[in-house]
Structure 1
Amino acid sequence: PRKFKCSGIFLMFPIYVMLSLCYNSIYIFLEDDMIRKDKKTFKDGSVKTQIRVTEGYRPYPNASPKQRTVKSFGYLEDQDDPEAFWKEVNACNDSLKHKRDLRIEIPVSEMMYSENNRLLNYGYKFPESVYRILGIDTFFERYQKTSGFRGKYSLNEIFRYLVMDRILYPASKREAASRLLNYYGLNSEFDLPDIYRALDRFDLVFYDLQRFISERVGDGFGRDLRYSFYDVTNYYTEKDFADPDEKYLDRSGNLVNGPALGQKGVSKEHRLTPIVQMGLFMDGNGVPVCMDVFRGNMSDSDTLKENLDGFKKEYGIERTVVVADKGMNCSHNIDLLCSQGDGYVFSQILKGTKGKRYRKELFTPEGWQEAADGSYRWKLITEEYRGNDISFEIQNGQKVEKKNTVKRMRKVLLYWSKADAEMAEKKREEKLKKAEKSTKNNAYRIIHGKDRYIKEETVLKETGEILDEKQTIKVSTVDQEKAQKDALYDGYFAIITSELDYDAEKIRKVYHGLWRIEESFRIMKSDFNARPIYLNKREHIRSHFLICFVSLVILRLIQNGMGQDRLSVERIAEALRRANCLLERGGYVRLLDVGGKIQYEERLDRKSGKMVPGLKFSSEDQVALDYRRIQETFGTNFYYAYAKQEDFKRFLKEMELSKRA
């Protein structure tokens, strides 16, 4: 932000007191900006010149002047074209040299709780510009005109507000409505009942809006649908019991009677309350394509079957390779994909019945290849297996599935990781310690992973021999034999694929792209507070996830626009929350400092070879740097502390997201 010093009016104290009877009139003059050249000596003895554009300011009246960095341009010796470099530095300095005289009138009777003193957030304008690029406002305006909607509120304004608020201040719809007046230039001519009514309408465009956004992402930013990453997770609700059956519109628009969404199932967070499942498709660029919501007691593998057919038809995909974890790996999903001409890359269980067929290859030393440092080894095999060719017929108005047994081929990648093996060993040792304590102390009898290694034996109290049930007791012991069997699989993994032309490196690379969808789930659960779900109606729950989905798409596009040095969603949201302003008299806007968190110096981590935060403070503010990074991504450079509303609105209107992917 622009820095300033106060004029000599404070030295004219008697006159100042007289004027203050009506208004405190303060004239603010901006200090001259300047280019600083600082020599810095490095550990190797080399000396470089750091170039910065700075500006002077006084933190408070009569304080000594200080300087603050507006922009750092790096080291002069590192520049390939010094002439172009200095041209850029001088242009930045010249743009900040124009002095502006502002006259701010402050009534002495101004109260703390007043409209003029309300903090307004303008950071939401950055994601809102992506909202406009995606044409979501056009979508709702068109829907509102053609659907016979008669509400007095705007569906687009409510949806846009809920998306922006979900990105910056995720909370319940009730709490979101309480912040209606806290955004600069955002229309808020609606209330909480209007929001709940609008949620019913959002559910009616649940699939249409997702398709519309996907098309706009493809046209404006590009899609990579050669691979379709799919996963499912669940979200717990604030309910004690499952919801009763209800009537609702299915994907085809038919009214059906079936189970409600909130059902008790296998919670990924080990919750006992009803849960709701969400399945998400993501493209190769890490941008979500579409999602759907399922009842909580539906198995993970069944959600793919429910989603796949609509995903391909509605998004015009001829062939795709679905990448998913072992939760989606079942024979029916594999048969369905292969019958449609699609491919798959799934992780495979090695323990138990499903992994029995690979044990011989797993523990046979022949055929393994090893990395030079011994941290990784792999074996690639091709196997034949029996599957079913699935087709569908309409009988008596019902869609009937038909199966024909066929033989197919696939590749199996078996690999071992030293780091994963060491981690598995540590986890098992921890479980064994807890299991040992559990056999001696009932306080540890709560069911946890340790119970995997506990077994019960029936022995005679006196001699340990089994005679009669009345004379025996059950004794818990640690199952060391099972622990030893599990240790054989430490660090081993398997990936199966239908793509016979893939080598070992490509199989692993494609599968490891799945981390992005897992990160997306973490963002929705943590950064967006998508759970717990406070809503009750099916339509409201689905609209809630639709809002979270659109928020995720917008932030993913912003991250992709940043390139390789992208910021996390948490840091983007924090910087946008700190972008606040005050409306001053005379048509001016006062932009407050975007900062508040000291950055730590980075150091080189010897193990990973990456730069990581150290323990020492740097001279920079992390939030300020993040905000500058966001401005660069949107092609803007606006750092004045005071601006006319016309100039400020022009800055907000002209920002445009970079189209990098």
Structure 2
Amino acid sequence: MAFIRRVRTASGATGVQIAEYVRGRQRIVEHVGSARTEAELGVLLARARELLENPAQGVLELGVEPTPPVLGLVAPAGDPGLFDIPGTAAPAGRTGPARVVGTDSRVLFDALASVFTALGFDGLEDEVFRDLVIARVVEPTSLLDAGRVLRDLGQAPASYATMKRTLTRAAAGKYRDRVATGCFEHASTDGDVSLVLYDVTTLYFEAEKEDELRKVGYSKERRVDPQIVVGLLVDRGGFPLEIGCFEGNKAETATIIPIIKQFQARHGLADMVVVADAGMLSAGNLRELDEANLRFIVGSRMTKAPNDLASHFRWHGDAFTDGQLIDTITPRTGHKNENNPDLRAEPVWDPATHLGSWRAVWAYSRKRAVHDNKTLTAQENRAREVIEGQKAARAPRFVRTSGGARSLDEASIARARQLAGLKGYVTNIPANIMTAGEVIGSYHDLWHVEQSFRMSKTDLRARPMFHRTRDAIEAHLTIVFAALAVSRAVQNRTGLAVRNVIRQLRPLRSATITINGTTQTFAPDIGAEQRAILDAIRSPKLTH
């Protein structure tokens, strides 16, 4: 005689099988399925009973049909049936097959929402803003298309008009200030705000005309599209702390001081180290940072090397050893040089003694020298081709024009070869506080801000090409700012790139099924690897 039995599977689920005794041994007639929840178990047991009552019953859709009678479902003792509706009598028999009415990635949404909350952003009390931030993390798209992404994440999206009003509310309600406060509190607890990294990038618009914000400015790609300049301040781990938006024609060197002062004023900070690349190096910037009692480390321009290293070149020539560090001084402006090349020993920078200089650290790398010389050779070859008329181009490096005639600037090539492999750093931190190696190590942390910029421009597609007014653009950057914070937090918790996390968790689909006039949502089967990611994301403490 056939009977129903339950077995524990290797994955920890409960298997439902139909078996029979043959010559004193159990023989499996049919494996009905495996369940991970009481609801799934009830469906499978009811399915097994119907198969026993009618062995000829065919296999129906989804492996859960025919729909079991409501009264046949299993529930814990004392509890109502799974699909009982209070105050109504259960229908006799089936009312129709079970149907999947939708699937979604609500597991992913819930995980990201937990990070949003952990960062303190829920203090805004704006669910639409939260949804727009999470949608941008998962699949950056236009505001008009954000509803599709949110529906796929199991959320009922607000209307397009409501989303636009949220942008207005974000600007008027100073959401960015409150997001920045949450970022700072997180970084203060789990990171290090004693050293901050700064860099800028440009975001282009597909617009024909300029306005007060979107202007044609300097472009490394020599583009003539209107653009804006975005400054980003992060901690030494790359977690965002401050973001600022400037006119497209504003010089990069003119953005660092406003951002730093805004950051200081917001959080009442007086002591920290600011690290920036050579693009931020200007006499005015360094003077303002120093006068604000801020310490700085910035990249030095190669044009300063011959003066800074005059003593080395006089006494040692252009010979360097791999990894060699030279701790010396550099003029604050080009008018005063306090480094005497007649002295063999490099001066030790003292702010009280060297009033016209900053501390300079120069490092030599053999690997960098090989790369620099390869680049110089390519530039020299290109210059020769232009001079000989083999290539029509604007005069490149090492081409000298005199009286309408072009010639190779061999003196410049020789100077460039002499400096190959060198990298300089300028700071106002004395050697007794920070060694030359620590200065270089701190500067090298700049790759974190570059990584954050790449994330915002690629993973989050920060370019606000669909917005026109300044308030809308600023609100868009606030969403990008919050999304960047959530993304960096996810990466810090899991140790995985945010795109990798999305790729692994988004396929975990919850299924919503209608059966006997009742709707039930079933959670997905989560593998061990995905479970580990979810546990890391939902951990109570962010690892930074």
- TM-score range with shorter-chain normalisation? 0.7 to 0.9
Deviation per residue, 1:304-343 (Å, 9 max, x gap): 1222222211111021111111111111111111112111
Does residue 504 of structure 2 align to residue 559 of structure 1? no
Give the aligned partner of residue 366 of structure 2. 418
- In the TM superposition, residue 658 of structure 1 has moved relative to its aligned partner by 3.0
Instruction: Return 158-167 or 279-288, whichever deviates more.
Output: 279-288
Cα distance in 2 for residues equivalent to 1:3 and 1:427: 61
Question: What's the TM-score, normalizing by structure 1?
Answer: 0.61
Query: Quick one: which amino acid aligns to residue 397 of structure 2?
Result: R
Tell me which residue corresponds to 1:358.
308
- The residue that corresponds to 2:133 in the other structure is 163
Residues 628 and 19 (structure 1), Cα distance of their counterparts in 2 relative to 1, 3 Å cut: closer
1:375 and 1:195 map into 2 onto residues whose CA distance is: 57
C-alpha change, 1:420 and 1:628, in structure 2 (3 Å) is: farther
Amino acid at match of 2:492: N
Q: Percent identity?
A: 22
Q: Which residue is equivalent to 1:331?
A: 283
**Distance of 1:124 and 1:180 partners within structure 2:** 9
SS at match of 1:485: helix
Q: Distance in 1 between matches of 2:286 and 2:152?
A: 51
Counterpart of 1:175? 145
Q: 1:168 to 1:332 in 2, by over 3 A?
A: same
Which of 548, 553, 562 is the matching residue for 2:480? Answer: 548
Q: Is the 1:127–1:164 Cα contact (8 Å) retained in structure 2? A: yes
Partner residue in 1 for 2:114: 129
How much has 1:518 moved relative to structure 2? 1.0
Matched, 1:201 2:149: no
1:126-525 correspondence runs (5 A): 126-139=111-124, 141=125, 156-184=126-154, 186-188=155-157, 190-204=158-172, 205-218=174-187, 221-243=189-211, 260-351=212-303, 354-355=304-305, 357-361=307-311, 363-366=313-316, 374-382=321-329, 385=332, 407=355, 410-438=358-386, 444-445=391-392, 451-456=396-401, 479-500=409-430, 501=432, 502-525=434-457
- Where does residue 60 of structure 1 map in the other structure? none
- 2:58 paired residue among 1, 4, 17: 17
Q: Which residue of 2 aligns with 1:612?
A: none
SS class of match (1:658) = coil
Equivalent residue, structure 2, for 1:526: 458
Looking at structure 1, the residues matched to 319 and 540 of structure 2 have their Cα atoms a distance apart, in angstroms, of 45
Q: Which residue of 2 aligns with 1:597?
A: none
Alignment partners' CA distance in 1, 2:406 and 2:160: 57
After TM superposition, give the deviation of residue 484 of structure 1 in Å.
Answer: 3.3
- Corresponding residue SS for 1:25: coil
Query: Gaps (5+ residues) in structure 1?
Result: 28-100, 142-155, 244-259, 388-405, 459-473, 595-623, 635-654
Is the 1:368–1:379 contact (alpha carbons within 8 Å) kept by the matching residues of 2?
no
Q: Cα gap change, 1:409/1:10 in structure 2, threshold over 3 Å: closer, same or farther?
A: closer
Structure 1 residues 588 and 197: CA distance shift in structure 2, 3 A: closer
Deviation of the 1:2 alpha carbon: 7.3
What is the distance in 2 between the residues matched to 1:367 and 1:632?
59
Distance 2:250 2:201 in 1: 11
How far did 1:160 drift?
0.8
Q: Is the 8 A contact 1:367 1:379 kept in 2?
A: no
* Change over 3 Å in CA distance of 1:530–1:269 after alignment to 2: farther
Whole-angstrom distance in 2 between the partners of 1:106 and 1:300? 69
Quote how far apart the aligned CAs of 1:414 are: 0.9
Q: Distance in 2 between matches of 1:575 and 1:369?
A: 52
Q: Secondary structure at the match of 1:292?
A: strand
Tell me what 2:44 maps to: none
Distance 1:179 1:331 in 2: 48
Amino acid of the structure 1 residue aligned with 2:374:
K
Alpha-carbon distance change, 408 to 484 in structure 1, aligned in 2, over 3 angstroms? closer
1:54-105 per-position Cα deviation (integer Å, ceiling 9, x unaligned): xxxxxxxxxxxxxxxxxxxxxxxxxxxxxxxxxxxxxxxxxxxxxxx99xx9
Q: Which of the residues 504, 511, 517 maps onto 1:582?
A: 511
The amino acid across from 1:630 in the alignment is: I
Unaligned 5+ segments in structure 2 are 1-10, 18-28, 33-50, 69-81, 84-93, 335-353
Number of residue pairs aligned between Structure 1 and Structure 2: 454
Answer 1 or 2: higher relative contact order, Cα 8 Å, separation at least 6: 2
Q: Decide which structure has the larger Cα Rg and report it.
A: 2
Q: CA deviation at 1:477?
A: 5.6
Alpha-carbon RMSD:
3.6
Match of 1:616 in 2: none
Distance 1:237 1:487 in 2: 40
* Matched-pair contact (CA < 8 Å) for 2:104–2:151: no
Which deviates the most, 415-424 or 198-207? 198-207
Partner of 2:541: 658
CA distance in 1, matches of 2:439, 2:489: 26
Q: CA deviation at 1:119?
A: 3.7
The structural deviation recorded for 1:383 is 5.6
Q: 1:222 to 1:124 in 2, by over 3 A?
A: same
For 2:4, the equivalent position in structure 1 comes to none
Change beyond 3 A, Cα 1:297–1:203: same
How far residue 380 of structure 1 moved from its aligned partner, in angstroms, is 0.7
Label 1:457 to 1:329 Cα distance change in 2 as closer, same or farther (>3 A).
closer
CA deviations on 1:142-175 (whole Å, 9 max, x unpaired) are xxxxxxxxxxxxxx12211111111110122222
